[in-house]
């Protein structure tokens, strides 16, 4: 991660938006195929082909030695799960994180899917994590600070009794996947890096049903909750503006697929709180 905060021109923001929308379409392609029995490796292959067919390259593959296009984290896995032979099962939740690089700029977004019927308590965790993301985005406005984003996310998660992961954070997005500043999902109002119009940020709450504590598995990638309870992760790439951030990525393509797909996954937004 660079140290200098980058302000993007409107033309550059448009390129981050294009990359971010392609991530949304890729995650919708994943949504078409996610169901009990599918392997995480199969989803990864589908995503890679889709991205390359659209003239872009996977944003994660090869970065820091990452072997895959997607990072798929099931149940107690928080983030950075590596796709492979694991078949998804009814009742799993799977966070699917995806980045693309196109025209020199990255987009980054993640969505946690329900595989078939999922326990109500877990569905509530997904719903609250999406609400945390929305609250974080609402705080990503000109002249606020990164701590305002973190505070909004932390407050909502903890008021629901959940743990906020500290070890992994959101980040700036631009010509590199990870730019300054870091965007923690916890914090104090009025603290942290000052936000300015034109800063592109990936805001990505990682919220645990139980303890906030995590550990990394021996594969050197997968991060899991220490108590084995489920974790959720939703991420948008946004650009800071005065008054209201613009969301550059979208879940709309995903939710259009899920709304039609009664057998596989169901949209988080249909959850009754
Ligand atoms: Mg991501
Ligand atoms: Mg990210």
Task: Pinpoint the alpha helices (H) of 177-249.
Answer: none
Q: Which residues pair with 58 in a beta bridge?
A: 100
Assign 72 to helix, strand or coil: strand
Per-residue pLDDT tens digits for 133-190:
999 999 999 999 999 999 999 999 999 999 999 999 999 999 999 999 999 999 999 9
Ligand 2 centre from 19 Cα, in Å? 13
For 187-202, what is each residue's pLDDT tens digit?
A: 999 999 999 999 999 9
For the chain, what percent of residues have pLDDT higher than 90? 94
Q: Which ligand is nearest to the CA of 79?
A: 1
Q: The pTM is what? A: 0.95
| Ligand 2: centre distance to CA 42 (Å) | 22
pLDDT score for 261? 80
Calculate how far, in angstroms, residue 204's C-alpha sits from the geometric centre of ligand 2. Answer: 6
CA distances 31 to 148, 171, 269, Å, are 32, 25, 14
- 110 C-alpha vs ligand 1 centroid, how far in Å? 5
The Å distance, Cα 127 to ligand 1 centre, comes to 18
Cα 258 to ligand 2 centre (Å):
23
Sequence length of the chain is: 273
The hierarchical CATH code for the domain 10-260 is 3.90.230.10
The sign of the CA dihedral 155, 160, 165, 169 is negative
Nearest listed ligand to the Cα of residue 177:
2
**71 alpha carbon to ligand 1 midpoint, in Å?**
8
Ligand number nearest to the C-alpha of 182 = 2
Q: How far is the CA of 160 from the centre of ligand 1 (A)?
A: 24
pLDDT at 272 over 90: no
pLDDT tens, 31-72?
999 999 999 999 999 999 999 999 999 999 999 999 999 999
How close is the Cα of 114 to the center of ligand 1, in Å? 18
Contact 264, 94 (CB under 8 A): no
- Which ligand lies nearest the alpha carbon of 95? 1
């Amino acid at each position: 991660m660079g140290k200098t905060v980058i302000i993007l021109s409107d033309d550059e923001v448009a390129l981050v938006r294009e990359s971010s929308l392609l991530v949304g379409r890729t995650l919708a392609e994943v949504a078409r195929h996610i169901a009990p029995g599918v392997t995480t490796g199969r989803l990864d292959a589908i995503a890679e082909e889709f991205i390359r067919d659209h003239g872009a390259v996977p944003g994660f593959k090869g970065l820091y030695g990452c072997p895959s296009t997607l990072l798929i984290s099931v149940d107690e896995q928080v983030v950075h799960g590596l796709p492979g032979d694991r078949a998804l099962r009814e009742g799993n939740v799977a966070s699917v994180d995806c980045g693309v690089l196109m025209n020199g700029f990255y987009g980054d977004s993640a969505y946690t899917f329900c595989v078939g019927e999922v326990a109500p308590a877990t569905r509530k965790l997904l719903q609250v994590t999406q609400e945390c993301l929305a609250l974080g985005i609402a705080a990503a406005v000109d002249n606020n600070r990164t701590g305002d984003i973190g505070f909004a996310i932390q407050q909502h998660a903890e008021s629901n009794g959940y743990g906020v992961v500290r070890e992994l954070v959101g980040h700036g997005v631009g010509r590199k996947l990870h730019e300054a500043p870091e965007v923690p999902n916890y914090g104090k109002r009025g603290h942290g890096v000052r936000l300015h119009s034109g800063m592109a940020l990936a805001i990505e709450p990682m919220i645990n049903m139980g303890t906030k504590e995590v550990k990394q598995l021996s594969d050197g990638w997968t991060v899991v909750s220490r108590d084995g309870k489920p974790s959720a992760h939703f991420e948008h790439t946004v650009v800071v503006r005065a008054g209201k951030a613009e969301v550059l990525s979208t879940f709309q393509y995903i939710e259009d697929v899920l709304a039609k797909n009664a057998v596989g996954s169901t949209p988080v937004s249909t959850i009754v709180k």
